[in-house]
Structure 1
Amino acid sequence: MKDVVPFDWTRIFIHDELPLGFLGEIAFRSALMYVFVLITLRVMGRRGIKQLSLFEFSIILALGSSAGDPMFYEDVPIGHALVVFVVVILLYVFFNYLTEKVEPVERWLEGRAVCIIEDGVINLSNFKKQNLTYHELFGEIRQYQVEHLGQVRKVYLEATGEISTYFFTDEEVKPGLPIFPELLTTATDKIEQEGEYACRSCGQVQKLPRGEQQPCTRCQHNLWLKACSTKRIT
C-alpha cells in the first residue's frame, strides 16, 4: 500500500496520478450532472423539500450518489449516471400513475393525514402510531401561540410530516392541558386542592378532589397539571 504523507497539499487539492487538466473535466462533469439534477427536479414539480412525499424523498436520496460520483470520479462514465436518471424518472412517472389509479398504492406511497388532537385531547391510538414525541408535538403547536390544548379543535399530522392546527373561537375555548415546557415538567400525582386538572398523557380534563393517585378516566395515567383556560392571543 502506498505510504500517505499527512497534509500533503498537492495530494489534497490535486490527485498526484491524474493530470492537472482533469480539473477542467471535473468542472464539465459537475455542470452536466447539475443540469441533470435540475431536469429531474423540474419533472418532479415545484414542491419544496419539506413537502416531498416519502417516495419523492427516496428518489432524491437515490440520485445523490448518481449525481455526485460522476462529477469527480474519472472511472464513472456520465452515460452510466444518465441511465440511472432516466430509469428513476420513469419509475417516478409510473408510480405517480399508480397513485392516481390505485388507492392502496397511493396510501402506501403517499400516506394519509392523521388526526392526533381532537377537541382539546390527544388521540392516543393515532399519536402512538406516529414517529412523534410529546415534545415535538407541543413544540410544533406552540409556534401557533397555543398555550394549552383547550384552545385547539383539531391537529393533523400531514402525509408530508407537517402539522396543521385548527382552533376554537375565543367563545369555545375550554380548560386544557398547558403545554409550556416548564409547566409540563411539574406534572404530579398529588392533588393538593380540588379543581380541574388535565391529564399529562392525553389532555383529558377532570374535576378532581384533593388526594393522591387519581387515574385518568380516558387513558388511566395519573400525572396531572392544573388545567389552563386562557384565550388564544396571536
Structure 2
Amino acid sequence: MKQVDIFLSDITRLVLGQNPPIFLIEVIIRALVCFVLIIITLRLLGRRVASQYTLIELSAVITLAGTMGVPLLDDKRGLLPPVLIICGLLAIQHLFGHLSLRFRKLDRVLAGTERVALDDGRLRLETLRGTVLSREKLFSLLRGRGVQHLGQLSRVYIEPSGSLTLVWSDTPRPGLAIIPRYDQALITAMQDDNHYVCASCGKLTESKKEHHQPCRCCHGQDWLPASVSLED
C-alpha cells in the first residue's frame, strides 16, 4: 500500500484490512485448523513439552508457533507448508528422543545437565554465574517453596528445564536468611547470635574470629548473624 492510500479516517481498512469481509470467515476456519494442529503436535511431542521445557523442546515449540503464525492471517499462504514443517518437526523430535535413550552423552548434550546450586546450606556461586541466575532470583524462588534460610536445605539442583529441585536437610542448622532485607523485624526474630554466615555464599561458622576474616569459600568480606527457622 502506498503512503497516499493511507487515511486515518478509513475505518473499513483499519478494521478489515485490504481483504474482503468474507476473509474473516476463512480466518476463523484457519484458526480452528491451526489450533487442532497445535494440540495434536503437542500431544505427539510428549508430556514433557506440556510441563517443563528443555532447550530442544522449547526450540520445537517456538518453531511451531512461528510456523502457524504466517498462514493464519495471510490469504496468500496455504496450510500445506505448515503441515509439512510440523511433520518434519515431529520426526526430528522423536529421532532425538530415540537417540537420547541409546546414547546418554547425546542426551546430556541436547537436554543439558543438572547443576548443584547449593550444597549443605552454602551457595555455589560459580553455578549461579554459569547459569546466569542471580542470588535474589534464586532466593525469590526458594521463598516460594517455603524456605526461610539456607540452613534448611541439603541440596538445591537446577534442572535442565530451569526448574529447582530441593532436598531438605534432616538436621537443619542455622543459615543465611533469604528474607528481604527490609523486613528487619522478621530477620531479628530469626537471628541466632551464636553463629555467623558469609553474606555472599552463606558459609556457616561458629568461630568468633573467623567472621573477622575473608570467607574461605568465596573470599567475601561481609558476615551476618545466622538465622534459624520460625515455627509455623
Q: TM-score, normalised by structure 1?
A: 0.85
Tell me: CA distance 1:24–1:99, structure 2 relative to 1, closer, same or farther (3 Å): same
For structure 1, the 5+ residue unaligned runs are: 186-193
CA contact (8 A) 1:184 1:200 kept: no
Map of 2:216 onto structure 1: 217
Map of 2:94 onto structure 1: 93
Of the structure 1 ranges 7-16 and 86-95, higher mean CA displacement relative to structure 2 is found in: 7-16
Q: In structure 1, which of residues 10, 13, 17 is the aligned counterpart of residue 12 of structure 2?
A: 10
CA contact (8 A) 1:50 1:160 kept: no
Once the two structures are superposed, the pairs formed by residues 127-146 of structure 1 within 5 Å of their partners are: 127-146=128-147
Q: Secondary structure at the match of 1:182?
A: coil
Map of 1:154 onto structure 2: 155
Tell me: CA distance 1:228–1:212, structure 2 relative to 1, closer, same or farther (3 Å): closer
Distance 2:211 2:223 in 1: 10
Q: Which amino acid aligns with 1:121?
A: R
Q: Secondary structure at the match of 1:19?
A: coil
Distance 1:135 1:66 in 2: 37
Tell me: CA distance 1:196–1:71, structure 2 relative to 1, closer, same or farther (3 Å): same
Tell me: CA distance 1:212–1:173, structure 2 relative to 1, closer, same or farther (3 Å): closer
Superposition deviation, residue 48 in structure 1: 5.8
Map of 2:197 onto structure 1: 198
Q: Which amino acid aligns with 2:76?
A: D
Q: Secondary structure at the match of 2:48?
A: coil
Percentage of identical aligned residues? 27
Q: Which amino acid aligns with 1:230?
A: S
Q: Secondary structure at the match of 1:69?
A: helix
Map of 1:29 onto structure 2: 30
CA contact (8 A) 1:178 1:225 kept: no
Deviations 1:119-149 (A, max 9, x none): 1111233232112110111111112222211
Q: Secondary structure at the match of 1:47?
A: helix
Once the two structures are superposed, the pairs formed by residues 24-173 of structure 1 within 5 Å of their partners are: 24-47=25-48, 49-169=50-170, 172-173=171-172
Deviations 1:17-46 (A, max 9, x none): x32212222222111111111110110123
Deviations 1:78-123 (A, max 9, x none): 1111111111111111111121112222112211221211111112
More helix by share: 2
> What RMSD in Å do the two structures reach over aligned CA positions?
2.4
Distance 1:178 1:120 in 2: 11
Tell me: CA distance 1:205–1:174, structure 2 relative to 1, closer, same or farther (3 Å): same
CA contact (8 A) 2:31 2:72 kept: yes
Distance 1:214 1:146 in 2: 28
Tell me: CA distance 1:197–1:212, structure 2 relative to 1, closer, same or farther (3 Å): closer
Q: Secondary structure at the match of 1:57?
A: helix
Distance 1:137 1:124 in 2: 11
Distance 2:37 2:152 in 1: 48
Distance 1:222 1:184 in 2: 23
Distance 1:212 1:39 in 2: 59
Q: Secondary structure at the match of 2:87?
A: helix
Q: TM-score, normalised by structure 2?
A: 0.86
Q: Secondary structure at the match of 2:142?
A: helix
Superposition deviation, residue 179 in structure 1: 1.1
Tell me: CA distance 1:58–1:124, structure 2 relative to 1, closer, same or farther (3 Å): same
Of the structure 1 ranges 155-164 and 205-214, higher mean CA displacement relative to structure 2 is found in: 205-214
Superposition deviation, residue 7 in structure 1: 5.4
For structure 2, the 5+ residue unaligned runs are: 185-192
